[in-house]
Structure 1
Amino acid sequence: MKPLTFTSSLEVYDSLEELSRDVQDLMLEAFKARDTAYAPYSKFSVGAAILLENGETVIGSNQENASYPSGLCAERTAFFFAGAKHPEMEMKKVAISAKSLQRLIESPVPPCGACRQAMVEYEVKQAAPIELYFMGEAGKVARAKSVQDLLPFIFDNSCM
Structure 2
Amino acid sequence: MKLVDLNISYEHYTGIEELNEEDKALCEMSEQALSSSYSPYSKFRVGTAIKLASGEIVLGSNQENVAYPSGLCAERVALFTIGVTHPDAVVESMAITAQTDSFEITKPITSCGACLQVMSEFEKKQNKPIQVLFYCLNGEVLKVNGVKSLLPFVFVEDRLVMPRL
TM-score using structure 1 length = 0.95
Partner-residue secondary structure (3-state), 2:46: strand
Larger Rg: 2
The offset of 1:136, in angstroms, is 2.5
Unpaired segments of 5 or more residues in structure 1? none
Match of 1:117 in 2: 117
1:1-160 matched pairs, under 5 angstroms: 1-158=1-158, 160=160
Partner-residue secondary structure (3-state), 2:24: helix
> Which amino acid is the alignment partner of residue 109 of structure 1?
I
The offset of 1:46, in angstroms, is 0.2
The offset of 1:22, in angstroms, is 0.6
> Which amino acid is the alignment partner of residue 151 of structure 1?
L
Instruction: Tell me how far apart the structure 1 counterparts of residues 14 and 104 of structure 2 sit (CA, whole Å).
Output: 16
Unpaired segments of 5 or more residues in structure 2? 161-165
**Contact 1:44 1:99 (8 Å CA) reproduced:** yes
The offset of 1:145, in angstroms, is 0.8
Task: Give % identity.
Answer: 44
Q: How big is the alpha-carbon RMSD for the aligned residues of Structure 1 and Structure 2?
A: 1.3
Instruction: Tell me how far apart the structure 2 counterparts of residues 116 and 16 of structure 1 sit (CA, whole Å).
Output: 23
Partner-residue secondary structure (3-state), 1:67: coil
How many residue pairs align between the two structures?
Answer: 160
Deviation above 6 Å: which 4+ runs of structure 1? none
Partner-residue secondary structure (3-state), 2:137: coil
Q: Which one is further off, 45-54 or 150-159?
A: 150-159
